[in-house]
């Protein structure tokens, strides 16, 4: 018998062990609520096309309108058709087509041995805790995929990569920055966000949605900004004029307290509602190739038994970070429905939503199957499958802003506040 290693992250009762199993808190992401979900149409192949009707506007703001005079009217000196002889200007309309395909991902848990549970300590508590962690892990796969797809679809801006830190001309609408995005040279500022708001309004990204992500009232549109805690605090503190505005704001609206808000507090500054992101995307930048590379947030290190997630030191020290202007109209996640029966035959019900399913039998849970003799199905493992298709709708309604997290002074120390444009 050459079965795979059996999961050993249980405590064996060889001493007086505590019954309590402590759990570490994890951050919650907004992505599962922000991205609309639909159903992928089956029986139509793997490649689908979506069409977006584009806006039509006059290209001349001073169009020439012809005056109607007596000489244009039939019966006068006009032509036989009279004032019915209008000169027409063609209206141009069009659409943008985008193709998309379904994609898949799969997870599996550790192999468990039924007989081992006879001897392990406090099995029910441990197993419930492990299954909860695995459920969170599957959820995180959805969240991270939605985040990555959103940033790829949305317009991207490398903040301050030209002479002016407020420049918004360098938007990249390709799937990736490639060699065209340029390196960010500035932290994120309210001046930049003011220009971003104007750009979003120009793009027509102001339609309110039923879930309240985008709102448009008498005070103008408000866009959700998914932003890291430090960056949100920088925006409130690193501009003396903005701090002065807070101090003189109407106390009835509570704006004067913005300067004293706690780290991680939800705040609204002008056209943006800050949504705290405890683990924002962070990047390194390579001069060779001029390309950003995302830094993994976590590493899996050894625990007393098994593995534990720890923050990646490279993530903590990464120089660049992303803030995301969220809009549900950027794309829809179409979940692929499983075919559980067809043509008079059927299969065990499955789901492609990332739900864990328990499977027993050594020949089923490892490959090659004939290497594991388990005739009584004592070995078991959890499996989860994900299948969906990201249907782009209005990618230009969302934005990804990559910026420099902080500037270094002459001694090489990093300063988080009172920063506008970096020089080193």
The residue assigned the tokens 């890291």 is 228
Do 272 and 373 share a structural domain?
A: no
Do 329 and 223 share a structural domain?
A: yes
- Does residue 256 sit within a domain? yes
- Does residue 136 sit within a domain? yes
Cβ-defined contacts of 192-196 (< 8 Å, 24+): 192/159, 192/160, 192/165, 192/166, 192/168, 192/401, 193/225, 193/235, 193/269, 193/270, 193/271, 193/272, 194/270, 194/271, 195/166, 195/168, 196/157, 196/168, 196/325, 196/399, 196/401
Q: Phi and psi (nearest 5°) for 229?
A: -65, -45
Do 141 and 193 share a structural domain?
A: yes
Q: How far is CA 322 from CA 80, 283, 301, in A?
A: 67, 8, 26
- Does residue 101 sit within a domain? no
Mention every residue, 6+ apart, whose C-beta is less than 8 A from residue 222. 214, 215, 216, 268, 271, 272, 273
Do 373 and 317 share a structural domain?
A: no
Do 287 and 403 share a structural domain?
A: yes
Model pLDDT for residues 356-397, shown as the tens digit of each residue: 888 888 888 877 666 778 888 888 888 889 999 999 988 989
DSSP secondary structure of 64-107: PPPPP-GGGSTTTTS-TTGGG-PPP-PPP--EEEEEE-EEEEEE
- Does residue 40 sit within a domain? no
Model pTM? 0.79
Do 244 and 130 share a structural domain?
A: yes
In sequence order, the β-bridge partners of residue 269 are 272
Do 399 and 272 share a structural domain?
A: yes
Do 365 and 219 share a structural domain?
A: no
Do 402 and 311 share a structural domain?
A: yes
- Does residue 87 sit within a domain? no
pLDDT for position 424 = 45
- Does residue 210 sit within a domain? yes
Residue 368 belongs to domain spanning: 353-386
Chain centroid to Cα 108, Å, comes to 24
Do 366 and 281 share a structural domain?
A: no
Which stretches of 264-347 are DSSP H helices? 313-316
Do 270 and 172 share a structural domain?
A: yes
Per-residue tens of pLDDT for the chain, all 424 residues: 567 666 665 555 544 444 444 445 556 678 888 888 999 988 888 898 888 788 787 888 888 888 877 776 765 555 556 667 778 888 989 988 888 899 999 988 888 888 877 776 677 777 788 888 888 888 889 999 999 999 989 998 888 765 344 455 667 777 666 656 678 888 888 888 999 999 999 888 888 776 778 888 777 889 999 999 889 888 877 655 554 555 545 444 544 455 445 444 568 888 999 999 999 999 998 877 778 889 999 998 988 778 888 999 999 999 999 999 999 999 999 999 888 888 888 888 888 888 888 888 888 887 766 677 888 888 888 888 999 999 998 898 999 999 998 765 555 544 544 444 454 4
Do 326 and 278 share a structural domain?
A: yes
What percentage of the chain's residues is helix, strand, coil (to nearest 5)?
Answer: 25, 30, 50
Per-residue burial over 199-233, b if 16 or more Cβ lie within 10 Å, else e, is: bbeebebbeeeeeebbeeeeeebbbbbbbbbebbb
Domain count, the chain: 2
Model pLDDT for residues 74-131, shown as the tens digit of each residue: 655 555 566 677 788 889 899 888 888 999 999 888 888 888 777 766 777 777 888 8
- Does residue 39 sit within a domain? no
Q: How far is CA 36 from CA 49, 366, 388, in A?
A: 18, 36, 12
Helix H or strand E segment including 285: strand 282-286
DSSP secondary structure of 215-278: EEETTEEEEEEEEEHHHHHHHHHS-HHHHHHHHTS-GGGTGGGGGGPPTT--EEETTEEEEEES
- Does residue 424 sit within a domain? no
């Amino acid at each position: 018998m050459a079965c795979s290693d059996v999961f050993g992250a249980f405590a064996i009762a060889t001493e007086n062990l505590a019954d309590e199993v402590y759990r570490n808190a994890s951050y919650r992401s907004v992505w599962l609520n922000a991205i609309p979900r639909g159903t992928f149409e089956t029986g139509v192949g793997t490649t689908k096309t979506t069409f977006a009707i584009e806006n039509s506007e006059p290209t001349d703001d001073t169009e020439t309108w012809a005056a109607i005079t007596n000489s244009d009217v039939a019966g006068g000196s006009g032509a036989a058709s009279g004032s019915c002889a209008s000169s027409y200007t063609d209206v141009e309309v069009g659409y943008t087509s985008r193709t998309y395909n379904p994609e898949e991902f799969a997870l599996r848990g550790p192999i468990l041995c039924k007989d081992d549970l006879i001897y392990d300590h406090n099995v029910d508590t441990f197993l419930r805790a492990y299954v909860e962690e695995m459920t969170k892990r599957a959820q995180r796969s959805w969240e991270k995929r939605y985040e990555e797809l959103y940033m790829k679809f949305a317009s991207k801006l490398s903040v301050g990569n030209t002479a002016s830190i407020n420049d918004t001309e360098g938007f990249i609408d390709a799937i990736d920055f490639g060699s065209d995005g340029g390196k960010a040279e500035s932290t994120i500022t309210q001046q930049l966000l003011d220009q971003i708001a104007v750009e979003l309004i120009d793009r027509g990204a102001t339609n309110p949605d039923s879930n309240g992500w985008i709102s448009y009232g008498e005070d103008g549109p408000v866009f959700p900004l998914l932003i890291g805690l430090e960056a949100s605090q920088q925006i409130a503190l690193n501009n003396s004029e903005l701090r002065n505005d807070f101090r003189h704001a109407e106390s009835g609206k509570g704006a004067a307290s913005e300067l004293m808000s706690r780290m991680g507090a939800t705040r609204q500054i002008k056209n943006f509602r800050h949504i705290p992101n405890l683990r924002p995307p962070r990047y390194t930048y390579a001069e060779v190739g001029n390309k950003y590379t995302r830094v993994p947030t976590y590493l899996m290190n050894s625990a007393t038994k098994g593995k534990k997630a720890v923050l990646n030191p490279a993530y903590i020290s990464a120089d660049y970070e992303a803030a995301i202007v969220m809009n549900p109209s950027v794309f829809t996640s179409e979940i692929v429905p499983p075919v559980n029966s067809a043509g008079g035959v059927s299969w065990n019900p499955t789901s492609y939503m990332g739900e864990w399913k328990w499977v027993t039998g050594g020949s089923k849970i490892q490959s090659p199957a004939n290497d594991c003799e388990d005739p009584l199905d004592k070995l078991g493992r959890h499996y989860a499958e994900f299948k969906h298709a990201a249907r782009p709708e209005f990618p230009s309604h969302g934005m990804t802003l990559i910026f420099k997290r902080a500037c270094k002074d002459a001694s090489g120390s990093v300063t988080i506040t009172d920063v506008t444009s970096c020089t080193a």
